[in-house]
Amino acid sequence: MALRNILLENDPILRKKSREVTKFDEKLWILLDDMYETMIHSDGVGLAAPQVGILRRAIVVDFGDDKYELVNPEIISQKGKQCELEGCLSIPGENGYVERPTFVKIKAQNRYGKDITVIGRDRLAVCFCHEIDHLNGVLYVDKLAEPPKGAHIDEYTRLPQGYTSDKGKKVSV
Ligand code: CO
């Protein structure tokens, strides 16, 4: 296994749409292992292949005792709404609020090409949605929501264009 370099926000590769994985070979397994190691090394909870410069539809998520590697993931149903703080290894040190479903059902394949279905609730639903967005060239900063009332905001919080805080003060973005 090896650590890979994580691309940062201004890299145009992060804006490209990733292609479907069609070969479930050793090259894919090495990529997934490297992604997992890179994510853990960077204290992340999720990583998508385009973040290490590979435009293929594969993500890894480390969620407590559960780890996921999803190849060609696709959200097949979703429910509910939540607005929580998100960060991204491609945008280090910053965060922002994004509206996401509270429940997602995802169809994907494992590293051997076998069809699998996974469910994500609450925080895990956020992780899956965030990582799948990366496969479509979308970053969380494209979807910024207004922070919920009473939310903690500081200089590291990205805010939507033109956002006015509840104190009536215009916040620069
Ligand atoms: Co990210």
118-150 pLDDT tens trace: 999 999 999 999 999 999 999 999 999 999 988
Q: Cβ(147)–Cβ(157) under 8 Å?
A: yes
> What's the 168 CA to ligand 1 centre distance in angstroms?
31
H-helix or E-strand spanning residue 98: strand 91-100
DSSP states of 103-163 as a string?
A: EEEEEEE-TTS-EEEEEEETHHHHHHHHHHHHHTT--GGGGB-PPPTT----TTEE--TT-
Question: What pTM does this model have?
Answer: 0.93
Q: Residue ranges per domain, the chain?
A: 12-158
What pLDDT score was predicted for residue 9?
Answer: 96
What spacing in Å lies between the alpha carbon of 167 and ligand 1's midpoint?
A: 30
Task: Catalytic residue, from 69, 131, 146, 155: name it.
Answer: 131
Structure tokens of 20? 């479907």
Q: CB 33: neighbour CB atoms within 10 A?
A: 15
Q: How far is the CA of 86 from the centre of ligand 1 (A)?
A: 9
- For domain 12-158, the question of CATH label 3.90.45.10 is answered with yes
Q: Which ranges of the chain have pLDDT less than 50?
A: 168, 172-173
Q: What is the distance, to the nearest Å, from the Cα of residue 1 to the centroid of all Cα atoms in its chain? A: 22
pLDDT digits (tens, 9 = 90+) for 96-107: 999 999 999 999
- Could you confirm whether 94 is annotated as catalytic? no
Give the pLDDT confidence score for residue 131 in this predicted structure: 98
